[in-house]
Chain A
């Protein structure tokens, strides 16, 4: 990797649940440098106690999301040159989640909402049964496919203004997951999940701002999934509880 002569002016949020602030670091600019590379350089060369979270470095595990110049991003796949503001780079923990330390947030609330939205597969068969044949051309399977590549990075949750304003709102990731399961023929919790996603903190609180769609690193459209859940819940109610 060729090292350029110039340096980046990087501000990183340091602190914990009780508060904190930004500290400045000068980081050598390099070619094909990602935001995660910058954070790693700071920890290895300037601030050994800097806390952050990452695992796969290839955009699969969803653990390295942070606020970069005010916007939520997966840092391992975000090239510095795409987000640099002049030479300035400001890195902070994800919005809408409590901070544990520095750039690491507490994801418990995020995953609790997944289970709150019944974003859990409920099997209807045992391992002794034959595998259910589901055609890739099946319309329900195609709907599920469009939303299934979520990596749980919480970028959409962090981008969502409704989550900011309404802490009980389940959020786009949990509802998107619920939508994929409502379109999974093998799942056995259609009615309980419909009740979970149409409760007070559920899909009906979405204002369709579409920040989740704008920022999803995998180009998913949780707003469309939530609209699908609104449609399913409303239709079921108008049919007096009959679901499919």
Chain B
């Protein structure tokens, strides 16, 4: 049960995620290949507005995108009743935003 607004929200979040995923993978490869320790990574991320914005945006886009995707799966594959779809979408989105936001806060602040 996807209407116009949910469709656009999922497409726009995918549009945001595409470069962010590439940036995230590139960062991971860089960090691993140069043998950075956790404290060296935290030295770079703590207090950095750039990394906060990068991963904050990433978490926001993932929360929107995954919540709408799971909504479609819950309805079409698991036959979840329509009245549960909005609560499910909001719950998944909020939980992902909360967990992701907590992780971002931990490495930036």
Chain A residues contacting B76 (CB-CB under 8 Å) are 162, 165-166
Contact in complex: A166, B7 (CB < 8 Å): no
- Selected contact of A166 from candidates B1, B6, B8, CB within 8 Å: B1
Q: Does B1 lie within 8 Å of A237, measured CB to CB? A: no
Contacts of B3 in A (CB 8 A): 198-200, 202, 204
Instruction: Identify whether the interface residues of A are mostly helix, strand, loop, or mixed.
Output: helix
Q: Interface size bucket, A side? A: 10 to 19
Q: How far is the CB of A168 from chain B (nearest CB, A)?
A: 7
**Is there a chain A Cβ closer than 8 Å to B77's Cβ?**
yes
Residues of B within 8 A of A16 (CB): none
**Binary flags per residue of B67-92, CB closer than 8 Å to A gives 1, else 0:** 00000100111000000000000000
Partner of B4, one of A165, A168, A237: A237
Which residues of B9-63 are within 8 A (CB) of A?
Answer: 11
CA distance A216 to B13 in the complex (A): 33
**Does chain B have a CB within 8 A of A62?**
no
Kindly state the separation between the CA atoms of A104 and B5 in the bound complex, as whole angstroms.
39
Whether the pair A237, B75 counts as a contact (CB closer than 8 A) is: no
Which residues from 194 to 221 on chain A have a C-beta closer than 8 Å to any C-beta of chain B?
198-202, 204-205
Contact B7 A200 (CB under 8 A): no
Q: Are the C-beta atoms of B7 and A165 separated by less than 8 Å?
A: no
B99 within 8 A of A: no
Chain B contacts for A205, CB-based, 8 A: 1-2, 72
Question: How far does the Cβ of A171 sit from chain B's closest Cβ, in whole Å?
Answer: 14
A199 to chain B: closest residue by CB: B3
Instruction: Please indicate the chain B residues that have their CB under 8 angstroms from the CB of A237 in the complex.
Output: 4-5, 8
For residue A233, give the distance in angstroms from its CB to the closest CB of chain B: 6
Q: Which residues of the other chain, B, contact A101 by a CB distance below 8 angstroms?
A: none
| Residues of chain B within 8 A of A234, CB atoms compared | 4, 7-8, 11
The CA of A205 and the CA of B7, in the complex, are separated in Å by 9
Report the Cα distance A94→B76, complex, angstroms.
Answer: 20
- Note all chain B residues with C-beta closer than 8 A to A95: none
A113 near B: Cβ within 8 Å? no
Tell me whether A73 is interfacial, beta carbon within 8 Å.
no
Using CB atoms, name the residue of chain A closest to B8. A234
Chain A minimum-CB-distance residue to B4: A198
Of all chain B residues, which has the CB nearest A205? Answer: B2
A230 CB within 8 Å of chain B: yes
A168 surroundings in chain B (CB, below 8 A): 1
14 contacts between A and B (CB under 8 A): A165-B75, A165-B76, A165-B77, A198-B3, A200-B2, A200-B3, A204-B2, A204-B4, A205-B1, A205-B2, A230-B7, A234-B8, A237-B4, A238-B8
Given contacts A200-B1, A237-B8, 9 further A-B contacts (CB under 8 A): A166-B75, A166-B76, A199-B3, A200-B3, A204-B2, A204-B6, A205-B1, A233-B4, A234-B4
Name A's B-contacting residues (CB within 8 A).
162, 165-166, 168, 198-202, 204-205, 230, 233-234, 237-238
Q: Which 4 A-B pairs have the closest CB atoms?
A: A165-B76, A204-B7, A198-B4, A204-B2
